[in-house]
């Protein structure tokens, strides 16, 4: 499941992680049964019903960190952030050495643009389990929000070292490079992202980079047109395409013909106008 959130500077895509069902719950384990049912409902986007199941699991086993995490994730999907944060805090209290509580709360902080708080949680998660790329990825989002470009680039690079097929990590690092005025590096990352997964938003970002920063109107126009083939109702891209086409037409327009110099007219002191004084 995926939550997509568009911000003015970036498209941030969050994976909604409903923690897996309890493996082989013991007979009569009401908490595990409720968790399993809640996970199934959450996977169907039936979050209100899932919350009821996770609540029943918590009532059956108040020490179930997984039930709190899952309920918090469902609350977050409904943008009920106060309830989500309370559940994530409880999960961390029960299992302070489990990185998932910090990851889930960190993600909720990022979604609310509380990037400093997110950075603390996600750094803690990465410390507890360095191989968890979700913590590193989300920390990169927080660092983008804080304008810490070098650290964000380093985190997305670390994600790509572990998974070179991560299209979103290339796109996010491309955005970071563009923000650092490293336009060629940004284009290279957008290229790689699109090679892995064609996406209209990434075509639009690459087109914007070509037009706005490199004045390569031909390539920018091609990207905007590809965006509109996939999403013809993208009004912003329609406007940007018109601008790029106008800029290209102005660039290619022939220079104006020179204005001929006017024919001199006799002045007051030319020989024709000078009389002989008597």
Q: What would the pLDDT profile of 1-60 be if each residue is shown by its tens digit?
A: 223 333 322 333 333 455 554 444 444 478 899 999 999 999 999 999 999 999 999 999
- Using the CB atoms, write b or e for 170-200: b if 16+ within 10 Å: bbbbbbbbbbeebbebbbebbebbbebeebb
- Find all residues with CB under 8 Å of 194, minimum gap 6, and list them: 167, 202, 203, 206
- In this prediction, residue 205 carries a pLDDT of 98
* Torsion region of 13: left, alpha or beta (phi above 0 gives left; psi -120 to 50 gives alpha): beta
Interval 89-132: pLDDT, tens: 999 999 999 999 999 999 999 999 999 999 999 999 999 999 99
100: helix, coil or strand?
helix
Q: Name all domains of the chain by residue range, CATH numbers in brackets.
A: 2-198 (1.25.40.10), 199-252 (no CATH)
- In this prediction, residue 278 carries a pLDDT of 37
- In this prediction, residue 234 carries a pLDDT of 97
* pLDDT of 168 higher than 60: yes
* pLDDT of 276 higher than 90: no
Per the CB < 8 A criterion, the answer to whether 227 and 234 are in contact is: yes
Start-to-end C-alpha separation, the chain: 106
What's this model's pTM, rounded to 2 decimal places? 0.81
- Find all residues with CB under 8 Å of 89, minimum gap 6, and list them: 105
* pLDDT of 74 higher than 80: yes
Q: Could you give the angle at which helices 115-128 and 133-145 cross, rounded to 10 degrees?
A: 160
> Hey, CA dihedral for 10, 244, 215, 217, is it positive or negative?
positive
């Amino acid at each position: 499941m995926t939550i997509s959130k568009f911000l003015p500077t970036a498209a941030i895509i969050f994976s909604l992680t409903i923690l897996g069902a309890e493996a082989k719950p013991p007979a009569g384990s009401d908490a595990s049964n409720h968790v399993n049912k809640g996970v199934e409902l959450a996977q169907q986007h039936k979050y209100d019903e899932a919350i009821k199941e996770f609540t029943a699991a918590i009532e059956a086993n108040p020490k179930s960190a997984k039930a709190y995490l899952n309920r918090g994730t469902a609350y977050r999907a409904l943008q009920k952030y106060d309830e989500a944060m309370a559940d994530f805090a409880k999960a961390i209290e029960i299992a302070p050495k489990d990185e998932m509580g910090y990851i889930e709360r960190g993600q909720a902080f990022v979604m609310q643009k509380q990037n400093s708080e997110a950075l603390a949680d996600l750094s803690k998660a990465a410390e507890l389990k360095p191989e968890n790329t979700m913590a590193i990825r989300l920390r990169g989002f927080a660092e983008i929000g804080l304008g810490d470009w070098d650290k964000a680039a380093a985190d997305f690079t670390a994600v790509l070292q572990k998974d070179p097929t991560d299209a979103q990590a290339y796109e996010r690092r491309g955005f970071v490079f563009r923000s650092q005025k490293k336009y060629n590096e940004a284009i290279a990352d957008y290229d790689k992202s699109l090679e892995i997964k064609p996406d209209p938003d990434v075509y639009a970002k690459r087109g914007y980079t070509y037009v706005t920063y490199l004045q390569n109107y031909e390539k920018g126009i091609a990207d905007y047109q590809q965006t509109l083939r996939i999403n013809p109702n993208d009004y912003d891209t329609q406007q940007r395409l018109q601008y790029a086409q106008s800029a290209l037409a102005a660039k290619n327009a022939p220079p104006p013909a020179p204005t001929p110099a006017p024919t001199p007219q006799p002045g007051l002191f030319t020989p024709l106008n000078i009389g002989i004084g008597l």
